Structure formats: structure tokens, C-alpha cells
Amino acid sequence: MSSTYDQEIEELLALYQRQREGAAETRRRINETTGTATAPRQTVKVTVNAVGDVTGIEFPTGAFRRLTPKELSEALLTTIAEARRDALEQVARMTDLQLPSGANAASLLRGEGDPTALLPESPGMPDEVRDYIDTGLNPGGIRG
């Protein structure tokens, strides 16, 4: 016969499994994320992946031919930065829902803030479950 504690532990394990599956789905979606930006006058269009690696550079028009090398370089660098911001914001929107209240995924992804400050040292659980985990005893001193 299973105890209430065994049932609670089973529920916690099932919750953990659902969270793990959700994390795997989020990772898949992040891996598919791309950010794109186009420079003014469509001189250059840049695509990056979720971590900001450039995966494509296009010149949609011949406008780039009228730019000096310095102007083209600046257009590329600016457009790459914009594409990276786009990808970062998409990833942040995907992960904000899974973060504790008050956490901002975009700031964490930019390296701002302490991610360990978002979670307590110990996971929250009813005192009875904590006692059961710590001692293996149910209330009344019966071993589980």
C-alpha cells in the first residue's frame, strides 16, 4: 500500500519529467531560432542563429556598390548587431515564461545579473515531504 508521501513523491517526479520535457522542447525551438536585420537602403541583410553566429549575408540590391569600404564595413557591423539583438529577443521571449517572476531572460542572456539569485538554495516543498526526504520517517515515526 502506498503512502501519501509516496504519492507526493511520484507527483514531484512526474512534475520534474514534464519540466524536463518542456526544457528539451525549448532547446529545440532555440536551436531553430534565427535573427535577421536589413540595413537602410537594403545595402545588406544579415541572418544569425540563436547564439549570434552569422549564418547568412545577402546584398538584396546593388546599393552596396555605392558605399565606400568604411561605409560597407559599418553597415555590416551595425546590421550584424541588429540581427543578434533580434535573435536574443526571440530567445528571451521563449524563456521568460519559464523563469521566476521578476527575471528577465534578455538581461541574463546578455550576461547581466546573477542566474543563481533567481532560485532558492533548496527547492520549495511541504515540510512533511522535506522531513520524509531527510529522515525517511512519516509523521508518527513510521519508516516510509
Q: Beta partners for 54?
A: 48
Using alpha carbons, select from 116, 118, 113, 142 the residue that is nearest to residue 5. Answer: 142
Q: What percent of the chain has pLDDT over 70?
A: 87
Phi, psi of 51 (to 5 degrees): -95, 5
Q: Express each pLDDT in 24-73 by its tens digit.
A: 888 899 899 999 999 999 999 999 999 899 999 999 999 999 999 999 99
Q: How confident is the model at residue 98 (pLDDT cuts 50, 70, 90)?
A: low
Distance, in Å, from the CA atom of 29 to the CA atom of 104, rounded to the nearest integer, reads 19
Which cell is 108 given? 541574463
Q: Is residue 144's pLDDT more than 60? A: no
Distance, in Å, from the CA atom of 65 to the CA atom of 57, rounded to the nearest integer, reads 15
SS3 10: helix
